[in-house]
Each structure stands twice: as structure tokens, then as C-alpha cells.
Structure 1
């Protein structure tokens, strides 16, 4: 009898329910439900619709019952840093604020960034959880019983068990670098009450327990709730079918997260200056990576053009252009501009570069800028680690962009291996299947991915 696991992978623009199983020694995935997601203004603050997400989580789980494919377990992964604050009854008491909200701009300079990096290894970003909590009213924090990160909350919603998971907690700039311990020094510096984080984090693969009875009754079955690498990039990195130890990983979606897995964090001044961050990985390892703006820029431009082009059409149009100029896609100016198109043009004007003459040129500018940024990140990573890398492995939705993949191979001078596209959901499933004993370990899972999934090669 096949053992199914259910990965609920929620991204900034959409979410999906994917069933995973091992059949005759082969990994197999099946998407059964997909839903939209997005942040909207709520009382002057950019927020996620938590209740809508709860509804979609249940709707997708009901599909399992309809299909007659009951999972042995379920796990949720999301983007990083955002939280749900709950009281002693487990009731949310503050909106689920979105990381692109600007409320943190007034507090980011109130902490010594060098000291914060030395303690946590997390690169400075205005949306880091430490700043979000600093920008939260003090009376709200005093009434808060637990600070749960987004996937922590959804696991609590399903199981009734409150727990923080290691990989998602590591994005906060509140966890000691490479350790399963909250930094009391950071909490003190930031004025954040320690009672929000009373326990050590649980590691990926930890079994929280069964579904709450009311949830089981709604979806029509019971199953276990297992913690994956709850940060979507942590799950995506699990699904990288790297061929050797000198491979660089790139999780390509709304964000581009480029880096490597390592046993120990790198928190010196050079790492901070280069903009690398140290996030938790499966098995207690560290993901040494750089956050790059990613496909977000193309997503925004597409929306500004009323979504009249598919991403495949945009890639084709980019390839048809000869526009030679690029912008720094690592700049926070592209985080949440009023108009991405106008922000790109403004960046070009400031460098006295000719402006794109049309949509083809604009698409090429952004796409080529991403490839150039990836190449620079790899060069910086080589300087930092004193290593020479031999390949780049891309997982996530961006791995479907053949034009970007080819330009990245050319810019980096490295062979690029693209796929699987559903890397995050696959990594989520793998963590569950290992916890259930269906797969012995992560190296075995990666071997199975190389064998069972279509990996495209792009040469420089």
C-alpha cells in the first residue's frame, strides 16, 4: 500500500497542495490543489489574509479525501520572517503583517548591525523579524503568549501544538548563528520580551502529533503533522540534486536565494560586507546564501502590463532584444516600489544608461540583470569561502526559464542544472518521507531526484 504525504507549500503569490509518495523505488508528486495568495493593505499595514489561507489549507486537504489518497502526514512551508502573535488561548491578536510593509523603516537603525550580524549571522534586511517585532506596539507584545512564524502558526492551526521550527526561526535574526538557541542579547537590544520564545526550536522531521479533532472532522481524515524545513528555501535546498560538493544552489522563485550548505556559519565582517546570510538547513546545517530580488521584478512588471504576457512569452521577448544594460537587482529599491517599470528606468537614468525602448528591452534588462547578479554572487562566495565552484543547480519555478538559465550559464561560466521546478514542495515531502521511514536519509533522496526528475543542462 502506497504511503502518501501532503506538502502544503505557500508562497507570496500562490500556494499548492502536493501529494508525494515512493512507488517502486521512485519519487512521485501530484499537485491536487492550487490557490492564490497576496498581501493587501489592512488599517494602513500590508498584511496577509490569514483566515483565507486557513480556508485554502482545509480545502486542499479535503481534495485528498475526494481522491481517496489519504496522507499519512501533512507539513506546511512558507516564506520567511513573518509571524502570527497569539495570546494564552492561542488566538491571534495582531494582523499577519507582510514583510514588504514599510513600518520597520523607523527602527532599523536602532540596533548595531555589525553586532547583530556577529550574533545571528543574518544579513541586514528591513523586513527581518527582529525589526518587525521592534515596530510592533509594546502593549501587543506584552499580551502575546507566543510568537509563531507563519508555518509554525499553520502547524498549530492543524495540530493544536505550539512550536517553532529551526529553519524558519533562523530567518528572524533572533536565533544564535548556527545554534538552536534564541539570542538573549538580541532580544534585550531590541526590547523584545523573552517570553515570546520560551522553548528551543524543533528540527525538521519532528512529529508534532495528530490533527486536532475539529480539523480531522472537517477534512474527513486524520494524519500526523510533521515539521518540514518550514522555510521554503530550506525545503528547496533539500531537493537540489547536486552532483558534487563544489556545487552552488539557487532556489529561484519570487526571491532568488543563491548559496551553499555548510556545517558552520560564517559571521565575520567579510561575510557581512558581502551580504551573505546564514540560515538554518535540514539536519542542523547552515545555508550560507545571498538574498537576490529574483523573479519578483518580472512578476511586478507583468502585473503592471495587466498580465497580458505569460512568463514564457516574456522570456522569449527578452531573448529577441539586444538591449545591453543592466541594473543592480540586489538593491532594496526594488523591494516594493510604486512601479517596478519606473524604478528600473530611474536606476538606469541615475547611471546615465539609455532607457529600454519597449517591453522587449525591459524584460531583457531585468532578466540579464539577474544573470549578472548571480555571477557576482558566486564570485563573492568563492572569495569568502576560498573555494572554486564547478556547477550551479537551480530549483524552483525559475528553473523553467530557459533563457535566464542559459544567460546565467554564460555569465557564470559554469554549467547550469535546472530542475526540479517544484523543489520546495519536493523538499517538504522528502522531510516527511524520511521521518516516516519511507526514505532512509537525505543523500538517498537526492539520488532519487537525479534519477526520477527531468534536470536540464545549460552549458556556458
Structure 2
């Protein structure tokens, strides 16, 4: 019997990939068919996304499927959160597409709090404060590009924008929309009263759709370019929402760590926790598949080590950096990985050294020493977060499920087991793409529900375990 293929286009902040999946005797198999680099471009001091280049790469990866003779019956796109495109009345992009690391949101929190207090905003949305949240970006638009904001007829998040270019159908997906800090966790729709309070045009925002919604088929123009037709299905388009779908267990009340450019540590809840205790600890309640809530904390993550690696001219693979770090057990310096100085420094290595110097810590020098400081600091941050989650929810967890690219970082996983005292279950590494595909397969009745799909993931992919050693 000929395999049935599903295509996940998974675009992260540093790279994108096209993953084809099919079922073979009850097991899911995946194959990477195309990969491309991504990153913010610096244009006169502004950090922007080149959406035209990204879409061109989406098309190139789709063409690769045709070359391989593996035509997907459906496809879906996921990306990072919070960033968006403004469209005019002709559905053309208005102005720049800003990246979340751009400094235009500096001070915008105070502008928002002139309208609604920080405490009330959290109680209303359940979303943690991050200076790059969409709510602060839109407030910045009011100050920096008011005419363009006034001209905008449609607000659309990045994966929805790319799927609109493929199908001609505009729609907004729920999980990614929750990262804007503009969605009501009770109604699961835009908080139009809040949007009005902020003085933003409510008519820009489209009704939110659930993952699994079938948008439609490719436009005639796209069909001609890629050489085939397929249907486009909404996945959980916030990459973390897709990754969490792929946690390889059917158990409830599990602790996960989505480990990539960012580290997202949390659990799934059926109701958002918008209480003061959660706000003080800066936990968020982002939307998940099937109206679950991802109660989690956003930790800076492997962005730090990725930057360090580039600054050493990519002389080391990530595995080699882990090995170098493991050989520097004497390193005792720790950094606050969530300090704003590590969000978008000109030079991450120098930022780490400067932080250590300013805090009377031993300054790391070699690549291995710097990597050790980063990895050990991340593990300590994970341990602190575990304690906060357990205290806030009055639950004790036995294991942490590490999903995403960080599942391959054996040294970091062992440090995490040691620092938390928990068993670390690591894998799958391509969790986001797998979650993307799970939503498509559920929509296509391959699986009955999320639990059945998770059981398949558990049985289909290599999963490693790390126990506390010290």
C-alpha cells in the first residue's frame, strides 16, 4: 500500500525545516526533506523578519516533495509566537515585519499600564509579562507608525500569514493568538473590550479557529509553482503548542520542558491559573491543543549557547560544546539566564563575561568554560522553576519530559536530572514538527484523539532516560 504523507513546515527563530511523515505498521516515521536558515535582519537598527525570503523557502521545500515523488495529502505551518503582519485593504503587507527582539517595545509596558494595571492585565489574560508580547508591540505601533496601524485592515500572525499566501484564506489560529496577551482564557476568543481600551482597531482581528481546521487547498498560482495540490490544515501554530502535543506519554499531570531557542517549562491544565501567586512567579497560561492551557514559564534557553557558538565562528558542533563543557566541572559561576542583558546583546560571549565580572564571579574564558556556565545556569533555572510549579499547583512530579532540539543535549539533560532530582525523559527532538503532523493526522482520522496520537509518538521514536547521579 502506498504511503500517505503529511508535511510539517516548522519555522524556528534560527532555522526552518520541512518534515514529511507517514505511518508504517502503526508507527510514525518522519523524514527531513528541506532545511533553511532563519534570523532577524538588522535594518538601520531595527530587527526585522524577511517574510518574503521565508515564504520563498516554504515554496522551495514544497517543491522538494514533488522532486521526491512524495506528495503530501495535507500540510501545515508553525512558527514562534508574538510576531505578526499588518495587511491593508488589498491584503498587502504594510511596512516592516518586526522581530520580537527589536527594542521598539522598550517602555511600552508603562504605556499599557496607563490603560490597565499589570495585575488586572494578568488576571484578565493569564499571560506572563514579556517585553516583546504582541500587546506591547501594538502599543509601540501606535507611537512609531500610527499611520500604518490606522491603515491596517487585518492583523495576522506569521504562520497564518504564510498559509494565507498559500490558500488565499485568511484565518487566525487560537494557540498562537494567546501569546498576544489579548485573548480571554474563558471565552477563548479575542478580548475585544481590552483591545478597545488600548485604542486599537478591533475590526483587524479575525475569529479564532482551533487546530485541525481545514483552511482549503492551494491557490492555482501556488499549485502551478510546486507542481501539485494539497490541503492546508491549521496545526497548533505556536511552535511550543505543537511541541507539547508530542510529549511521549498518555499520563495526565506531566511536567515538560520544550527545549530549543527558548526553554518552556510547565504542565497542562484544563483551566487557566490567573491568580496572584502565578503572576508573581511570572507563569503564563498559553492556549494548547483541544483548549488545554500550557501553564509554563518562559526561560531564555539555548539561544544563549547558539549565540556563543556563532561567536566562536561555529568551530564547534553543539555536541562538541557539550563535551568541552563537561570537562570543566570546576566552573562554579552561574548567570541569571533570564536577565535582559542576554535577550539581544551585540556579543553574547562578552555579555556573559561582563555579567560575571559585575557580580564578582569567576570569568569564564574558553568555549568549554563559557558553555559550562550556560548549561549549569540553565539547569539551575529549571530546578527553580520545577519547585515553583510544584508549590503553586501542590503537585509533585517524578519526571521531566524534555522535547525539542535540547533533547539531544545529553550533558544538559544530565545536569537537569542532577539539579532537579527528577528522572529526565528526553525526546523526541523534532517534537514541534511531530505535533504539527499529529494535528493533521487527527483531522484526517488517523488518530481518534490526542491521547492516541501521543501513544503513537511514545512507541515510534527514540526516547532516552537520565537519572540523578549527584
Give TM class, smaller chain: over 0.9
Moved more, 367-376 or 332-341: 332-341
Give the corresponding residue for 2:30: 29
Post-superposition CA distance 1:368-412 (Å, at most 9, x none): 000000010010001111111111001111110000000000001
Take 1:407 and 1:215, find their aligned partners in 2: how far apart are those partners?
Answer: 47
Which of 111, 114, 121 lines up with 1:116 in the alignment? 121
Q: Does 1:154 align with 2:162?
A: yes
Give the corresponding residue for 1:266: 273
Give the corresponding residue for 1:166: 174
Give the corresponding residue for 1:187: 195
Give the 4+ runs in structure 1 shifted more than 3 A. Answer: none
Which of 384, 393, 396 lines up with 2:401 in the alignment? 393
Deviation at 1:183, TM superposition (A): 1.3
Which of 409, 420, 424 lines up with 1:416 in the alignment? 424
Contact 2:334–2:376 under 8 Å retained in 1: yes
Take 2:458 and 2:302, find their aligned partners in 1: how far apart are those partners?
Answer: 25
Contact 2:77–2:163 under 8 Å retained in 1: yes
Secondary structure of residue in 2 paired with 1:135: helix
Give the corresponding residue for 1:131: 136
Moved more, 164-173 or 331-340: 331-340
What is the CA RMSD across the aligned residues, in angstroms?
A: 1.1
Take 1:203 and 1:452, find their aligned partners in 2: how far apart are those partners?
Answer: 26
Take 2:467 and 2:130, find their aligned partners in 1: how far apart are those partners?
Answer: 34
Deviation at 1:341, TM superposition (A): 1.4
Deviation at 1:181, TM superposition (A): 1.5
Change in 2 beyond 3 A, CA 1:246/1:261:
closer
Matches within 5 A, 1:291-440: 291-321=298-328, 322-440=330-448
Give the corresponding residue for 1:223: 230
Take 1:281 and 1:130, find their aligned partners in 2: how far apart are those partners?
Answer: 20
Contact 1:118–1:268 under 8 Å retained in 2: yes
Deviation at 1:191, TM superposition (A): 2.1
Deviation at 1:106, TM superposition (A): 2.9
Give the corresponding residue for 2:68: 67
Deviation at 1:187, TM superposition (A): 1.2
Give the corresponding residue for 1:284: 291
Take 1:205 and 1:45, find their aligned partners in 2: how far apart are those partners?
Answer: 35
Change in 2 beyond 3 A, CA 1:14/1:3:
same
Change in 2 beyond 3 A, CA 1:196/1:341:
same
Where does structure 2 lack aligned partners over 5 or more consecutive residues? Answer: none
Contact 1:278–1:288 under 8 Å retained in 2: yes
Take 1:229 and 1:152, find their aligned partners in 2: how far apart are those partners?
Answer: 11
Deviation at 1:178, TM superposition (A): 4.8
Contact 2:254–2:268 under 8 Å retained in 1: no
Post-superposition CA distance 1:49-82 (Å, at most 9, x none): 1110110000000011111111111100000000
Moved more, 180-189 or 100-109: 180-189
Q: Does 1:242 align with 2:242?
A: no
Take 1:329 and 1:179, find their aligned partners in 2: how far apart are those partners?
Answer: 34
Deviation at 1:361, TM superposition (A): 1.5
Change in 2 beyond 3 A, CA 1:352/1:304:
same
Where does structure 1 lack aligned partners over 5 or more consecutive residues? Answer: none
Contact 2:8–2:18 under 8 Å retained in 1: yes
Take 2:262 and 2:129, find their aligned partners in 1: how far apart are those partners?
Answer: 16
Post-superposition CA distance 1:284-315 (Å, at most 9, x none): 11000000000000011111111111111110
Deviation at 1:243, TM superposition (A): 5.8
Contact 2:250–2:451 under 8 Å retained in 1: no
Q: What TM-score comes out, normalization by structure 2 length?
A: 0.96
Matches within 5 A, 1:69-84: 69-84=70-85
Secondary structure of residue in 2 paired with 1:41: strand
Contact 2:250–2:454 under 8 Å retained in 1: no
Matched residue pairs, number? 459
Contact 2:250–2:455 under 8 Å retained in 1: no
Q: What TM-score comes out, normalization by structure 1 length?
A: 0.98
Secondary structure of residue in 1 paired with 2:457: helix
Post-superposition CA distance 1:228-261 (Å, at most 9, x none): 0000000000001136334211110000000001
